[in-house]
């Protein structure tokens, strides 16, 4: 998929140092209050690996609180690897565990890709179950979360829950800009999901949270962006999700596929590594060339150049010309052009490949076309040329005529010329003089 080159931090501007310092100071006051009468070793950090939990973890570690739990149920595998790296950099003593499995999800299918209220229910079940289990096992006195007023309902910065466990929300007052300023200045990094529509549009830390509704509103297919981010996820549920099964079937190549298609491997190369062939009969008028230029600038590259392994162009000479010489086109693609490679077995096959690509586009130079047809006739039968190039026999004859009747006819030689009979000529003269029969 092609996505807009934008980040979840789009429009973000770092806050002034004094503003960030004030936010940190207020959080430290809250954490100091939490530590009053409690041991740092009996306080648990609910670490999700996201931006807010990174801030909370950093502030808590500075206060000597290091024990953390990260719920990994239904997370993208590569995200979990990033969470572990970030946790280590922060200095957390974090365990990573999944409290829910696929069987649980199968029995709660209404929570998958659902509307926002249902996703909130799913998130609570997923997040709170693992944290509660870990808190119980360590006899925790309190749990720290990264909940903020901007994104969540936060009853208070410190309060006692119905399960008698104390919950602390030390960054409840932080803004989005303050959070990202802290994260970027920390140098610990952040998960790559924030740069992808999975996280950018849906704010999803786990794939069941990717909302069909939100994705569609932003012009995306929710299954497409999940599969693009990690193709190993959806196959696990296809046997009981008809929508997922249908989507994956559309992605799979048919079993009858026998050959590798050039489009499976598009290269971006310096146009100087390519060169034109000396036979292409296709011609594009200046007006059409300008239209091609505008098309590339407006829509991007939608068709690659076709070339041999040695760089000789089979199709796409005009795209290559623009990619080589037009400043705007070069800047639009970083000075590179897209190329696919084919391997024609003979020069005749290469010429035919060029003509097949050209016949529906542009204007052929008829004289060059006729020369190619003559060359092909030296190596191939007319029936084969007609079949491979989609020509009628009459068209082949006309193109050959343009190259010269002598060349076309000389292959079979000439019949002997007609010579008058002398005896017949003499008899004719006698009749004319009155010597013939009466």
Per-residue pLDDT of the chain (438 residues; tens, 9 = 90+): 555 445 555 567 899 999 999 999 999 999 999 999 999 999 999 999 999 999 999 999 999 999 999 999 999 998 999 999 999 999 999 999 999 999 999 998 888 897 777 777 887 788 788 899 999 999 999 999 999 998 878 889 999 998 889 999 999 999 999 999 999 999 999 998 888 888 877 777 899 989 888 888 888 899 999 999 999 999 999 999 999 999 998 887 665 555 678 887 888 888 998 988 876 655 667 777 887 888 898 888 988 998 888 888 888 888 999 999 999 999 888 888 999 888 765 766 666 666 665 554 544 455 667 777 777 787 788 887 776 666 677 777 877 776 554 454 444 555 565 566 555 555 555 444 444 443
Q: Say what the pLDDT of residue 97 is.
A: 93
Residues 242 and 305 in one domain: no
Residues whose CB falls within 8 Å of the CB of residue 39, separated by 6 or more in sequence, listed in order: 141
Distance CA(343)–CA(307), nearest Å, equals 8
The SS3 call for residue 340 is strand
Distance CA(219)–CA(240), nearest Å, equals 26
Distance CA(324)–CA(304), nearest Å, equals 14
CATH code for position 37: 3.40.50.620
Q: Choose among 219, 216, 211, 203: nearest CA to 116.
A: 211
Q: Say what the pLDDT of residue 258 is.
A: 57
Residues 177 and 33 in one domain: yes
Which of 248, 280, 308 corresponds to the end of one domain? 248
Residues 177 and 207 in one domain: yes
Return the biggest CA–CA distance within the chain.
155
Residues 133 and 174 in one domain: yes
The SS3 call for residue 326 is coil
Q: Say what the pLDDT of residue 2 is.
A: 54
Q: Say what the pLDDT of residue 408 is.
A: 46
Q: Say what the pLDDT of residue 5 is.
A: 46
Residue 430 falls inside a structural domain: no
Q: Say what the pLDDT of residue 76 is.
A: 92
Number of compact structural domains in the chain: 2
Residue 2 falls inside a structural domain: no
Tokens standing for residue 21:
């310092």
Catalogue the E-assigned strands of 57-194.
67-71, 93-97, 142-144, 158-160, 166-168
**What are the backbone dihedrals phi and psi of residue 274, each rounded to the nearest 5 degrees, phi first?**
-110, 160
Q: Quick one: the chain helix, strand, coil %, rounded to 5? A: 50, 10, 40
CA 410 to chain centre: 56
Residues 285 and 232 in one domain: no
Q: Say what the pLDDT of residue 435 is.
A: 44
Q: Say what the pLDDT of residue 172 is.
A: 96
Q: Say what the pLDDT of residue 406 is.
A: 42
Q: Which domain holds residue 229?
A: 17-248
Strands 282-283 and 158-160: unpaired
Residues 55 and 118 in one domain: yes
Residues 41 and 186 in one domain: yes
Burial level of 117, CB count in 10 A (0-12/13-18/19+)? Answer: exposed
Residues 276 and 239 in one domain: no
Q: Say what the pLDDT of residue 360 is.
A: 47
Q: Say what the pLDDT of residue 413 is.
A: 54
Residue 427 falls inside a structural domain: no
Strands 142-144 and 43-46: parallel
Structural contact between residues 144 and 45, judged by C-beta atoms closer than 8 angstroms: yes
Distance CA(115)–CA(212), nearest Å, equals 8
Distance CA(205)–CA(216), nearest Å, equals 18
Q: Say what the pLDDT of residue 366 is.
A: 59
Residues 214 and 290 in one domain: no
Residues 206 and 299 in one domain: no
Distance CA(414)–CA(258), nearest Å, equals 49
Per the rule left: phi > 0, alpha: psi between -120 and 50, beta: everything else, 413 is left
Residues 286 and 151 in one domain: no
Residues 27 and 65 in one domain: yes
């Amino acid at each position: 998929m092609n996505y807009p080159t934008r980040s979840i931090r789009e429009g973000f501007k770092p806050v002034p140092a004094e503003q960030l310092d004030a936010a940190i100071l207020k959080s430290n006051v809250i954490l100091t209050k939490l530590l009053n009468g409690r041991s740092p070793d009996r306080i648990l950090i609910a670490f999700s690996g996201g931006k807010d939990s990174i801030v909370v973890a950093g502030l808590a570690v500075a206060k000597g609180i290091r024990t953390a739990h990260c719920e990994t149920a239904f997370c993208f595998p590569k995200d979990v690897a990033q969470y572990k790296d970030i946790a280590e950099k922060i200095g957390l003593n974090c365990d990573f565990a999944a409290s829910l499995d696929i069987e649980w999800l199968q029995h709660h299918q209404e929570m998958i890709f659902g509307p926002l209220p249902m996703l909130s229910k799913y998130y609570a079940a997923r997040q709170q179950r693992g944290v509660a289990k870990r808190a119980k096992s360590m006899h925790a006195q309190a749990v720290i979360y990264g909940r903020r007023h901007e994104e969540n309902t936060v009853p208070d910065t410190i309060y006692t829950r119905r399960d008698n466990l104390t919950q602390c929300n030390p960054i409840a007052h932080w803004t989005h800009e303050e959070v990202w300023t802290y994260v970027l200045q920390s140098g610990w990094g952040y998960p790559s999901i924030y740069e992808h529509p999975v996280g950018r549009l849906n704010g999803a830390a786990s794939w069941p949270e990717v909302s069909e509704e939100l994705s569609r509103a932003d012009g995306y297919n929710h299954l497409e962006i999940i599969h693009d981010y990690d193709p190993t996820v959806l196959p696990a549920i296809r046997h009981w999700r008809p929508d997922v099964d249908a989507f994956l079937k559309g992605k799979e190549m048919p079993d009858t596929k026998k050959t590798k298609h050039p489009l499976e491997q598009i290269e971006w190369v310096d146009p100087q590594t390519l060169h034109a062939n000396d036979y292409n009969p296709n011609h594009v008028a200046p007006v059409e060339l300008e239209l091609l230029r505008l098309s590339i600038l407006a829509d991007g590259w939608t068709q690659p150049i076709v070339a041999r392994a040695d760089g000789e162009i089979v199709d796409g000479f005009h795209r290559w010309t623009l990619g080589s010489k037009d400043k705007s086109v070069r800047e639009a693609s970083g000075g590179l052009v897209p190329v696919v490679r084919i391997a024609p077995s003979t020069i005749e096959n290469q010429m035919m490949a060029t003509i097949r690509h050209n016949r529906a586009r542009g204007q052929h130079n008829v004289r060059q076309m006729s020369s190619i047809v003559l060359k092909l006739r030296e190596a191939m039968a007319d029936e084969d040329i007609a079949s491979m190039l989609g020509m009628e026999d009459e068209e082949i004859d006309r193109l050959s005529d343009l190259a010269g009747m002598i060349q076309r006819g000389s292959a079979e030689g000439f019949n002997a010329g007609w010579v008058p009979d002398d005896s017949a000529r003499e008899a004719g003269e006698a009749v004319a003089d009155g010597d013939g029969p009466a």
